[in-house]
Structure 1
Amino acid sequence: MISAAIHGFILAFGLILPLGVQNVFVFNQGAMQPRWMLVLPVVLTASICDTLLISLAVFGVSAVVLGVDWIRVTLLLVGILFLLYMGFITWKSKPTTEETKGVAFTPRKQIAFAASVSLLNPHAIMDTIGVIGTSSLTYTGSEKIIFMIVCILVSWMWFFGLSLAGRFIGKLDRSGRFILYLNKISALIMWGTAFYLVFSL
């Protein structure tokens, strides 16, 4: 159970760390809102959407491949290749925040935008179904539940922490160097997770 929790923590943290459109939006709303409480709509929406995607991925993918070894192995291989690819893209990516720069959204707009970039984002879907869902195939019973819960908790903690980081760091980090370092760390975690999945085969 401990190994499932550690695996879930490292995997979820590595996947959620890159500052794509969803995370950039949370980060910038934290920086632009006059008070931190005003960024809660986007934080809660993004967290709930990730909870939904992770739950569907773990239970849905598990149900599809239950007892079918070749599908399980195929999905694990796809997850490994996807992690290697995303690690490469993340390592090469440059921080950009033009999509949401300087705009403090109203609560209704925060919810609508956060839901759209969470549920309609191909990368978010691939992260959850292609990586978290397939990684959950290595566990059964209570270990699978623990793995899923830890992934969800990491998501919630990240979005709350990201909004706070935006509040205190966003206005100071004009160069984007902080975001660049985060992407490098995330790429290394993704590659490490890919090798872990290779051994799980």
Structure 2
Amino acid sequence: MTALLHGFLLALGLILPLGAQNVFIFNQGANHKQFKKVLPAVITAGICDSILILLAILGVSLILLSLPTLQLIVYIIGFIFLTYMAISLWKEKPQQMEKTSSMTAKKQIGFALSVSLLNPHAIMDTIGVIGTNATVYEGIDKIIFTASTISVSWLWFILLAILGKALGTVDKTGKYIVYLNKFSSVIIVVVACIILKNIIEIIL
């Protein structure tokens, strides 16, 4: 029970703050009429978080921290993807205002991968916080802790998509969703700028 609550509260504390990943999932929920249309983004984000958590708990992800060159590559790729994503979201229109789908499944998967796996701060949080806290458990307790943290990610992404869809349903004109898209773009630009700062620090 202790491991379960520990994992749940820890993961909840890490995932609640507003970030590129959360903004993207909520945004996609708001921009599509049907929940199933958002599943590519939700499932991709859930799988990515699960992989990161497993790697952190197994200690494999510590390799990233010990290889500055690898960190630099991840940062640069992340910066490029986030910049492209910010531009795309700024231009994106809600489905209610267009005859075609706002974002294809393939595009959702690509963007979800970038905000999940190419977000250095998310990676460092997973390694430094979840990975470190997992070391206090062994055997079945560690498994429960791991399952608890992973479950929070999946439930949170599903909830974000549902909340986004609720906004999209209420906002018949699509006006507020356009504002949401712009806001989402700005948040992602801020994240990209922080990553750029890290790139410069590593190079210098």
Distance 2:52 2:151 in 1: 13
Aligned to 1:88: none
Quote the RMSD (CA, aligned, Å). Answer: 2.7
Q: Does 1:130 align with 2:128?
A: yes
Distance 1:107 1:135 in 2: 35
Where in structure 2 are the equivalents of 1:30-109 lying within 5 Å?
30-60=29-59, 100=89, 102-103=92-93, 104-109=102-107
* Number of positions where the alignment pairs a residue of Structure 1 with one of Structure 2: 144
Shift of 1:34: 2.3
Alignment of 1:131-146 (within 5 A): 131-146=129-144
Structure 2 counterpart of 1:9, one-letter code: F
Structure 2 SS opposite 1:100: helix
Q: Give me the whole-angstrom Cα distance separating, in 1, the residues matched to 2:58 and 2:124.
A: 15
**Which runs of 5 or more structure 2 residues have no equivalent in the other structure?**
64-85, 94-101, 181-204
TM-score w.r.t. the length of structure 1 is 0.65
Aligned amino acid, residue 39 of structure 2: L
8 Å CA contact 2:62–2:127 kept in 1: the answer is no
TM-score, structure 2 length as denominator? 0.64
Residue 110 of structure 1 pairs with residue 108 of structure 2? yes
Which residue in 2 is equivalent to 1:81? none
Aligned residue identity for 2:140: S
Task: Please report how far the alpha carbon of residue 19 of structure 1 lies from its aligned counterpart in structure 2 after TM superposition.
Answer: 2.1
Shift of 1:139: 1.1
Residue 157 (structure 2) pairs with residue 168 (structure 1): no
Match of 2:25 in 1: 26
Structural mapping, 1:141-156, within 5 Å = 141-156=139-154
Alpha-carbon distance in 2 for matches of 1:99, 1:158: 24
Q: For 2:158 and 2:58, how far apart are their aligned partners in 1? A: 26
